[in-house]
């Protein structure tokens, strides 16, 4: 119940407050969102497999966001920011797809 | 997950998709106690922040879009305009180079010889566009306000310098042998006395003659005379001026003989 409430509250807050992202944070936000999405989809899969664990979720969520942002930052410093972002997106995308496929298999048995 | 399984994944992408779920979910499970209330809350907070992230990013992107689009449209319009300008300039350049070529060809056809020696030598009357200069001594009667032969010499010289093709002073065509000088009270041109008001007619492109005269020292000299000494001086462009030929006696040569130059 709490997770669903959290999602709804976050959505509502975002739409209501419409916070402005500081300029220095703008390059990292999209990547952070994708990394967080990866953690969330992973958690959903673990939930389906009855393996869900709060601590793992919390740690994977935070570390995903931090590492993804750090990679973008590092890439920016090295002058390969966009390429590295693409790499991160590809890896995270594959993970999201794989996890979503696992969830799909569990639900539909197909 | 065993070590063997880890290494069996040959490709990087395969490995990524095989380990899609964090290994931790498999490792930690056994020893972990059931979720407590606090960790549930933490999950809730994280999901809240996740939803906040997503909405913020989406809203931001949405808000930024018009600005980006506007920028793009402005840039595109700019590019189009520049291209049009470039095309125009190219067309102008092509036209000009064609003109240059035709002019060069006609110049070659002329062989560098003046079109009409009679016009140049002032032995024929001519007409065409030009300017008319009306000059008169100052009304205040002072010595400084009187127009002298020197004034007229400067003016005629300045007109040649400004690109005039023919010049006449009070209907006296200025030719190769013409002199302008004072004789007694009057000024003579071609040994004919002339009196005020003086009308100096110059043949040539009215606009360029006028501007170039105004810019060269002769024009400046006369402007100065007008301001300081009250000499009356007015330049009027004319679409058609007529200049008589120089008198016959000023065209006749008694001693000069043509030196045949071998070419």
Beta bridge pairs of residue B183:
B186
**Structural domain count, chain A:** 1
Which residues in chain B touch residue A45, judged by CB atoms under 8 angstroms apart? 20-21
Q: What is the pLDDT of residue B1?
A: 43
Is B252 inside any structural domain? no
B140 plus B211 within the same structural domain: yes
CB B201 within 8 A of CB B147: no
Tell me if chain B has a CB within 8 Å of the CB of A110.
no
Domain end among B92, B113, B134: B113
Beta bridge pairs of residue B232:
B136
Please give the torsion angle defined by the CA atoms of residues A106, A109, B4 and B7, in that order, rounded to the nearest 10 degrees: -90
B177 plus B197 within the same structural domain: yes
Tokens representing residue B163 in the block: 């690109």
Residue B9's pLDDT band, with cuts at 50, 70 and 90, is very low
Is A63 inside any structural domain? yes
Give Cα B202 distance to the centre of its chain. Answer: 27
- Report d(CA B102, CA B222) in Å as an integer: 39
pLDDT digits (tens, 9 = 90+) for B132-170: 998 888 877 777 788 888 888 998 999 999 888 899 998
B131 plus B101 within the same structural domain: no
In 10 A of CB A13, how many CB atoms? 17
CB B126 within 8 A of CB B203: yes
Mutate: best of A43, A56, A62, partner B, most B CBs <10 A: A56
Residues in chain A: 110
Q: Are B24 and A56 a contacting pair at CB < 8 A?
A: yes
Q: What is the pLDDT of residue B82?
A: 96
Lowest mean pLDDT across A30-39, B187-196, B204-213:
B187-196
SS3 track for A29-48 = HHHHHHHHHHHHHHHHHHHH
CB pairs under 8 A between A and B: 137
Q: Give the mean pLDDT of B198-203.
A: 91
**Structural domain count, chain B:** 2
B132 plus B47 within the same structural domain: no
Residue B263's pLDDT band, with cuts at 50, 70 and 90, is very low
Please give the torsion angle defined by the CA atoms of residues B178, B182, B183 and B184, in that order, rounded to the nearest 10 degrees: 170
- Report d(CA B54, CA B48) in Å as an integer: 10
B203 plus B136 within the same structural domain: yes
Q: Give the mean pLDDT of B28-43.
A: 66
B89 plus B161 within the same structural domain: no
**Domain carrying residue B142:** 117-246
Q: What is the pLDDT of residue B111?
A: 60
B50 plus B124 within the same structural domain: no
| Nearest chain A alpha carbon to B12 | A91
Closest C-alpha among A104, A72, A63 to residue B22 = A63
Lowest mean pLDDT across B23-32, B65-74, B250-259:
B23-32
Which residues in chain A touch residue B41, judged by CB atoms under 8 angstroms apart? 2
* DSSP annotation string for chain B: --HHHHHH--SHHHHHHHT-S-HHHHHHGGGPPPP-HHHHHHHHHHHHHHHHHHHHHHHHHHHHHHHHHHHHHHHHHHHHHHHHHHHHHHHHHHHHHHHHHHHHHHHHHHTT--S-HHHHTT-S-EEEEEEEEEEE--TT--GGGS--HHHHHHHHHHHHHTT-SEEEETTEE--TT--EEEETTEEEETTEEE-SSEEEEEES-HHHHHHHHHHSHHHHHHHHHHHHH--EEEEEEEEEEEEPPPPGGGT--SS----PPP-
B147 plus B71 within the same structural domain: no
B71 plus B127 within the same structural domain: no
Q: How far apart are the first and last CA of chain A?
A: 28
Q: Is the pLDDT of residue B124 over 70?
A: yes
B99 plus B137 within the same structural domain: no
Assign A107 to helix, strand or coil: helix
Q: Is the pLDDT of residue B8 over 60?
A: no
Is B75 inside any structural domain? yes
> What CATH number should be reported for the domain holding residue B214?
3.30.70.1880
State the sign of the Cα–Cα–Cα–Cα dihedral A77, A79, A83, A86: positive
Q: Are A7 and B51 a contacting pair at CB < 8 A?
A: yes
Tell me which DSSP letter residue A22 carries: P
Which residues in chain A touch residue B67, judged by CB atoms under 8 angstroms apart? none
pLDDT digits (tens, 9 = 90+) for B71-122: 888 999 999 999 999 999 999 999 999 999 999 888 777 665 555 777 777 8
Looking at this predicted complex, what is its ipTM? 0.79
Q: Are A33 and B59 a contacting pair at CB < 8 A?
A: no
Is A27 inside any structural domain? yes
Q: Is the pLDDT of residue B65 over 60?
A: yes
What is the average pLDDT value for chain B, to the nearest integer?
A: 82
Q: Give the mean pLDDT of A45-53.
A: 83
Q: What is the pLDDT of residue B132?
A: 92
- Report d(CA B48, CA B60) in Å as an integer: 18
Give the closest of B22, B29, B42 to A60, CB-based.
B22
Which residues in chain B touch residue A11, judged by CB atoms under 8 angstroms apart? 51-52, 54-55
Is A67 inside any structural domain? yes
C-alpha atoms less than 13 angstroms from C-alpha of B98 in its C-beta half-sphere: 6
Closest C-alpha among B239, B251, B209 to residue B124 = B251
pLDDT digits (tens, 9 = 90+) for A63-104: 989 998 898 888 888 888 888 888 889 888 988 988 888 888
**Domain carrying residue A92:** 23-108
Is A87 inside any structural domain? yes
Give the closest of B13, B25, B40 to A56, CB-based.
B25
CB A29 within 8 A of CB B53: yes
Is B87 inside any structural domain? yes
């Amino acid at each position: 119940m709490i997770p669903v409430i959290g999602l709804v509250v976050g959505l509502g807050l975002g739409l209501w407050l419409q916070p402005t992202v500081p300029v220095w944070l703008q390059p990292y936000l999209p990547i952070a969102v994708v990394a967080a999405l990866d953690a969330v989809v992973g958690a959903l899969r673990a939930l389906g497999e009855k393996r869900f664990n709060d601590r793992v979720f919390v740690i994977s969520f935070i570390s995903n966001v931090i590492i993804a942002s750090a990679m973008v930052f590092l890439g920016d410093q090295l002058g390969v920011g966009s390429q590295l972002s693409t790499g991160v997106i590809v890896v995270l995308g594959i993970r999201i797809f794989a996890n979503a496929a696992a969830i799909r298999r569990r639900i539909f048995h197909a | 997950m065993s070590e063997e399984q880890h290494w069996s994944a040959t490709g990087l992408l395969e490995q990524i998709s095989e380990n899609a779920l964090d290994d931790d979910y498999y490792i930690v499970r056994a020893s972990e106690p059931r979720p407590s209330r606090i960790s549930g809350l933490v999950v809730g907070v994280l999901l809240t922040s996740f939803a906040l992230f997503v909405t913020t990013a989406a809203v931001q992107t949405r808000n930024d879009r018009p600005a980006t689009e506007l920028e793009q449209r402005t840039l595109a319009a700019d590019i189009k305009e520049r291209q049009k300008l470039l095309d125009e300039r190219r067309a102008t350049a092509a036209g000009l180079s064609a003109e240059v070529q035709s002019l060069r060809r006609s110049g070659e056809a002329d062989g560098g010889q003046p079109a009409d020696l009679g016009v140049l030598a002032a032995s024929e009357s001519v007409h065409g566009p030009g300017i008319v200069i009306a000059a008169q001594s100052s009304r205040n009667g002072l010595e400084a306000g009187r127009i002298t032969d020197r004034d007229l010499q400067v003016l005629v010289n300045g007109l040649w310098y400004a690109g005039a093709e023919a010049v006449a002073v009070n209907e006296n065509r200025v030719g190769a042998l013409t002199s302008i000088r004072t004789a007694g009270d009057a000024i003579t041109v071609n040994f004919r006395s002339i009196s005020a008001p003086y009308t100096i007619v110059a043949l040539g492109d009215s606009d360029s003659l006028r501007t170039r005269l105004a810019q060269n020292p002769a024009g400046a000299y006369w402007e100065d005379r007008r301001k300081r000494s009250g000499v009356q001086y007015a330049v009027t462009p004319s679409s058609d001026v007529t200049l008589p030929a120089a008198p016959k006696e000023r065209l006749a040569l008694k001693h000069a003989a043509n030196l045949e130059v071998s070419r």
